[in-house]
Structure 1
Amino acid sequence: MQGIAFTLGGVDELTFARILRDVTRDAAFARPLAVQAQEPRPGQEARLTLIFAPGERTRAVAAMQRLKTVLLRHGVQVDSVRVPGEG
């Protein structure tokens, strides 16, 4: 399994909960993809990771684009995105 990790700087708990609600209701993130969430904590930024099997890379990249749209809707800046296999 691989994952595309998003670090979300400055996201509060309420905004993070709203983002998770939108993601869990969106078919773009349905199986065989999975979403791993780490809520914001003092000294630790929120993080979302799209988990996928290597054969699902195309679908995962499409879901990544959809996640960017969801985040923009909530006014969230993505501090970093880490895609496996890319520099």
Structure 2
Amino acid sequence: MLRAMTAGRNGIAFTLDGVDELTFTRILNDLMHDQAFKKPLQVQAREPRAGQAGALTLVFHPEARSQAVAAMQRLKTILLRYGVQVDSVVVPGE
């Protein structure tokens, strides 16, 4: 899923259906300690709540697109480590 961001930014959004709070926290912890997600990228997180899936969005300026695509691939690897299946991803500009 793709969400347009403001101020000249794009975002690659992952909706994490079926991920509980503990798993979400572990995924987020891995993200925050991985160099693939360093600046100028920004990670926005929405914790899973009752009836609402968690979500992670990689926000980036157009000039950081290649770094964002590499980070997206790394995020997919992290998600697979926790048994989260990624069915499809839409990247701005593709």
User: TM-score over 0.5 for the alignment?
Assistant: yes
| Percentage identity across paired residues of the two chains | 70
The equivalent of 2:26 in structure 1 is 18
Amino acid at match of 1:85: G
Q: Sort the Cα spacing of 1:8 and 1:79 in 2 relative to 1 into closer, same or farther, 3 A.
A: farther
Unaligned runs of 5+ in 1: none
The equivalent of 2:78 in structure 1 is 70
Unaligned runs of 5+ in 2: 1-8
Structure having the higher helix fraction is 1
Tell me the matched-pair count.
Answer: 86
Structure having the higher strand fraction is 1
TM-score normalised over the length of structure 1 = 0.91
Q: Is the 8 A contact 1:6 1:82 kept in 2?
A: no
TM-score normalised over the length of structure 2 = 0.85
